[in-house]
Structure 1
């Protein structure tokens, strides 16, 4: 039996990376995240469902137009004490409401179906890229991003659900605006007033009031709520960190119990939860301000058209039915113009999820570029050769260091170049202080460490087995 040979490898430890909170809009990157599904192999089914959901939305807008006209006729019948018309209009309302209920239920059902198809496709794409070329391993080595499990499970769901609900809501607002702006223009009529001895007339004055009301509300909502994007981004990270620590404790319950490590684990859990609570307090403050703006905006919008139209009604220039029709049309136009205000809280949550997915995708692409099979280039070449010995030629090991906002990787030298040969039957011991690169050497021999330079030649006919520092068994049956 041969005498064990030792190799001592000195070097520094891997530095950690601090997460930068992403709160900017990143419109182009978000669009690049949305677009692939609608060009994928599942696009026909997805586009078909989308077209059907859009048609249902248009149908609901048309029903709202019918209800707006019904308001005018119904309140005129009440004003004129016309009981015959009153009964007929109630019957008409019944079938209009019936169609509305069927359309609303169908829209919700098929929207949820489309959400799941889109999420299924995106989850498959992200998992394929994350698991291929050992990108998951390289991301953990470089700390390129945090909690990929949370991004795959929660952020993808939030992204697809939010993208559909926001885009369909925007479409509904645009169609509603186009459908009701003409009605509001015609019903409100012109308004005249004297200014500096000159009489000014504004045609369709309620339309301009609705536009001004919505623009002012949108600007205020954006100024108040913009910090919520970054806070939502950070909240998702802290929640995921806390959940990961809980899972880690569950998986290591026996070692923790043997070492009596409960106080340490409890301190770590409390520390992570304190970050959740502190960030949540900030979310509460900004959400309170945004809710105040949104609630005041929506409540005042109920009486605003009545206040503006009251002079014409009391002057006898408008019937009760006309007043109610104008109030309803104003509500529809103002609601359509207020999509940004009404959806702001949903929008900031969705944008935070989108930014986390963008960062995750960037980290995967950076990791893939480090892999030989992906790029065709690798600093450490691991190949197979004839013979029975393991040969290492001018092998220099390095550590990955993240640089720049895009997470690019540069290499920091860890071990000076060395060469050796391990013959069959030999036993080698690699020794050195903690962090000097012992584990990195074995990762390079296994072909999973690309950082460095040199060549490793493995016997072509040999079956290699590398034991990790932590045991691993996949979830499932023993078979």
Structure 2
């Protein structure tokens, strides 16, 4: 950015010299704007990577358009290209745009928005790019995105240029109609309007294809980023412990990422607003020039007094009134839309839970309670919905009135001059078009207020997701399990609950390899919490748990996770089913006393619902047989089995995993026969529990 800033500074110096040479005040103004643009471009090295793209585009255009302007004023522009000369203010306009983008980069909400966008534009990942007629090649993903955005910005600016050109053609077109000039009418129709309209259509199609490609690539990358951030380092578990505003992180990834980039149903996300703003600004400048020039024809009294830029100032005042009023009416909308998404996500989650626990609910005859709960949750959605309706009713009333008046005002302003014979119908029509474009650009805030509020709520949800992920990282950094050069597992740790209450003090416990142990104690004494700490997922702790370096530790919970897919995948999880041969998986199922399921290994199903609790626990045991861990912790992992089958499973584990040390949590006295040590959780005077050696009966 420094080199580009220096190049703009050189252009500013040349423009200043030309201004001195020709005595042209407009060149002095351009030189001043270019000088400020050079400064902001130089300083843009520290701003968002996403915004740097736009600063670079406008700064380069400042030089290019400015160079054309200097050629014109010095009389060096070819006469054959006189019809294609740029408007005098073009280079000044893009210089101002570059300065505005730099200024926007310091607004807090823009910084938060671009922080998320920069995740994509700062990545080192490489993506595949296929250009028609060329072989596919790999290049850094941000370079692909930047190339697309630059092209789209240029297309957007080109479309505005075409639109302005068409406004002049329509002016002459309507004037030809008024004057009954058939020859001029057909000439403008065939050789003026039609070619430019065709160009507009072709460019619009190219714009759509590029835009759609950029959006899906961006969404694909950002979704993968948030999925990795959620699951990486077991953040998903820590984020669930944190709770708070991080409700339904799955919905954030599935919906809010899409809404951030593409806007979802509204169609307005960060990309849309960026390009839309550029288009609106370009349209504003271009049509403001048209309005300003037309205003000279609107003269008052016999002295033909003209107010410079009359129509432009009228559009500006009208837009300012609309913008301020809209904001005053709609301020609470952002928080209401944020709450809407949260309540919708809660309701969907409740429905999913109902489906997941259908059997348990049916057994307890809990349909009535679940129905009442769903009605309450949906009632919250309805209450929020009516609050949004009440607010949007006021917004719609104002914006609809505002937009209807927008159609009438330019005709009200121009009609007296038209009837006085000072302007022709084509000028009147062009004035209406130009006024509409200027007013629309200036009332961007009015027209898109609801969408902007919705976008802000999406931004807030993604920001809270990132904040919770950062908090999860802090928690995970405090987890006590560490690797050490030793053979046993040693505990010198104090564990607490998320609310801060201390629950376990294990300050002198050691588990020796090859020595199976049974951990017992009353419910709520922290047995499972101790196991979670060993697994490295419990962050509320002081002290440390030393685990042998390189040892493979596996924990089987009371309720194992069974993924949707083939049974082979469920048994091999978390490894891919191809990691093991079908013979090894079948053998593990048979050893876990599930021989009847061997024939269903390739069957795709929701096995978590098809299998009973005891069958799910035996699938988890089969996983342990395949994984062959050094340490196997069973957290009531056989509680759904009868005592006879439970005994067979323990005997089988001892036989098939002779090098695995088994540590169990259980309540049945029959488990004592399968373990060499008995450790009991005993309550201390301060209410905490400590593991103490117990005598085997």
Deviation at 1:76, TM superposition (A): 1.0
Aligned to 1:76: 175
Aligned to 2:155: 56
Which SS does the other structure have where 2:214 is aligned?
Answer: helix
Conserved 8 A contact 1:379-1:454? no
Q: 1:66 aligns with which of 157, 165, 177?
A: 165
The one-character-per-residue Cα deviations of 1:74-97 (angstroms, maximum 9, x if unpaired) are: 111111111111222222322222
Deviation at 1:121, TM superposition (A): 1.6
Q: 1:164 aligns with which of 271, 284, 298?
A: 271
Aligned to 1:34: 117
Deviation at 1:62, TM superposition (A): 1.3
Deviation at 1:459, TM superposition (A): 4.8
Deviation at 1:333, TM superposition (A): 1.1
Aligned to 2:467: 362
Cα distance in structure 2, aligned partners of 1:458 and 1:36: 36
Cα distance in structure 1, aligned partners of 2:235 and 2:122: 25
Q: 1:430 aligns with which of 508, 516, 520?
A: 520
> Are residue 390 (structure 1) and residue 489 (structure 2) matched?
yes
Distance 1:292 1:461, change over 3 A: closer
Q: 1:439 aligns with which of 524, 528, 535?
A: 528
> Are residue 464 (structure 1) and residue 563 (structure 2) matched?
no
Which SS does the other structure have where 2:422 is aligned?
Answer: coil
Distance 1:426 1:83, change over 3 A: closer
Deviation at 1:336, TM superposition (A): 1.3
Aligned to 1:95: 195
Structure 2 matches for 1:227-306, cutoff 5 A? 227-306=332-411
Deviation at 1:320, TM superposition (A): 0.9
Aligned to 2:538: 449
Conserved 8 A contact 2:230-2:236? yes
Aligned to 1:18: none
Which SS does the other structure have where 1:67 is aligned?
Answer: helix
Deviation at 1:191, TM superposition (A): 5.5
Conserved 8 A contact 1:190-1:202? no
Cα distance in structure 1, aligned partners of 2:257 and 2:545: 40
Cα distance in structure 2, aligned partners of 1:192 and 1:98: 38
The one-character-per-residue Cα deviations of 1:243-297 (angstroms, maximum 9, x if unpaired) are: 1111111122222222222112212211111111111111111122222222211
Structure 2: 5+ residue runs without aligned partners? 1-106, 125-140, 263-268, 569-576, 578-697
The one-character-per-residue Cα deviations of 1:362-398 (angstroms, maximum 9, x if unpaired) are: 11111112224xxxxx3524334533x43322x2102
Cα distance in structure 2, aligned partners of 1:237 and 1:210: 40
The one-character-per-residue Cα deviations of 1:401-425 (angstroms, maximum 9, x if unpaired) are: 5xxxxxxxxx553334543234444
Conserved 8 A contact 2:295-2:311? yes
Conserved 8 A contact 2:481-2:534? no
Cα distance in structure 2, aligned partners of 1:366 and 1:200: 67
Cα distance in structure 1, aligned partners of 2:551 and 2:153: 61
Deviation at 1:25, TM superposition (A): 7.2
Structure 2 matches for 1:323-402, cutoff 5 A? 323-372=428-477, 378=478, 380-387=480-487, 389-393=488-492, 395-401=493-499
Q: What is the TM-score when the length of structure 2 is the normalising length? A: 0.60
Deviation at 1:469, TM superposition (A): 3.2
Q: Does 345-354 or 457-466 show the bigger shift?
A: 457-466
The one-character-per-residue Cα deviations of 1:451-479 (angstroms, maximum 9, x if unpaired) are: 21223234558653312232212333223
Q: State the aligned residue count.
A: 436
Cα distance in structure 2, aligned partners of 1:386 and 1:35: 44
Q: What is the TM-score when the length of structure 1 is the normalising length? A: 0.85
Structure 1: 5+ residue runs without aligned partners? 1-23, 373-377, 402-410
User: Which structure is richer in relative contact order (CA contacts within 8 A, separation 6 or more)?
Assistant: 1
Q: Does 108-117 or 68-77 show the bigger shift?
A: 108-117
Cα distance in structure 2, aligned partners of 1:333 and 1:455: 67
Cα distance in structure 2, aligned partners of 1:360 and 1:259: 36
Aligned to 1:407: none
Distance 1:461 1:204, change over 3 A: closer
Which SS does the other structure have where 1:260 is aligned?
Answer: coil
> Are residue 85 (structure 1) and residue 184 (structure 2) matched?
yes
Conserved 8 A contact 2:297-2:423? no
Q: Does 453-462 or 349-358 show the bigger shift?
A: 453-462
Conserved 8 A contact 1:30-1:355? no
Distance 1:422 1:35, change over 3 A: closer
Deviation at 1:242, TM superposition (A): 0.8
Distance 1:460 1:75, change over 3 A: closer
Which SS does the other structure have where 1:450 is aligned?
Answer: coil
Aligned to 2:59: none
Which SS does the other structure have where 2:553 is aligned?
Answer: coil
Q: 1:413 aligns with which of 502, 513, 536?
A: 502
Cα distance in structure 1, aligned partners of 2:156 and 2:259: 22
Deviation at 1:207, TM superposition (A): 0.3
Cα distance in structure 2, aligned partners of 1:70 and 1:121: 44
Q: 1:187 aligns with which of 267, 291, 294?
A: 294
Distance 1:214 1:135, change over 3 A: same
**Structure with bigger gyration radius:** 2
Deviation at 1:127, TM superposition (A): 1.6
Cα distance in structure 1, aligned partners of 2:329 and 2:217: 35
Structure 2 matches for 1:128-167, cutoff 5 A? 128-144=228-244, 145-161=246-262, 162-167=269-274
